[in-house]
Structure 1
Amino acid sequence: MGSDHAPVMCTFGFNKDFRLDLTEAEPRFNFTKADWGLFGSTLDGMITEIKNENLNDIKSFDGVFSNLIKASANGAIPKFAATTLKSYP
C-alpha cells in the first residue's frame, strides 16, 4: 500500500427510527460578491481604535480582533439567503 494513511473502520447503530426534520440554515457569506476594498478599509479603520490596555494576553487580543473581522465582513460581504436543510439522525 503506497499511502501513509491508516484505514478506519466505523460501525453505526441507530436506536431510533429514521426521521427527517427541516431546519433553517444560517445565512452564509457570498465571497464572490464581496467588496474587498471596503472590507480592508473598514478593518484598517477599526484596528486603529484598538485600546492596548485591554489586551494583556493573546486570548484577549484574539477575541477583539475576531470581532473586528466579523464586523468588517458583515458590512462588506453580502450573505446567501437562508435555505432549508435536512437533518439526519
Structure 2
Amino acid sequence: MSSLNRRWSWTDWGNRTLRLCDAHEEWESGWERIFNRITGKSFARARKRVRDLTLEQCVEDFNDMKRRMTGKWESPPSEAICRLGGLA
C-alpha cells in the first residue's frame, strides 16, 4: 500500500491508516482501462483473475487474506462482499 499515491481519489489515509473505496456507488466508466494502465500487466492480470472468480473461490480468497494479513477486520462477512461484487 505504500506505493499508492496518498492524494489519489479513493485512498483515504485518515488517522494514519488506509481505507479503500467502499464501492457503494457506481464505478467510473472505463475504470478497468485506467487501472490496467496505471498498475501494469501484473496487476491487470490479477484484476482479471478476480473478475473471473466463482463465489466459492472469492470467499476462500477473502478468508485466506483475513487470516494472513489483517490485525483488524471491520466489514461484512466474506460471502456478502463477494455477492456485492456480482458473484452468485
What TM-score bracket applies, with the shorter chain setting the length?
Answer: under 0.3
Give the TM-score normalised by structure 1: 0.23
Larger-Rg structure: 1
Give the TM-score normalised by structure 2: 0.24
Relative contact order (C-alpha < 8 Å, sep 6+): which is higher? 1
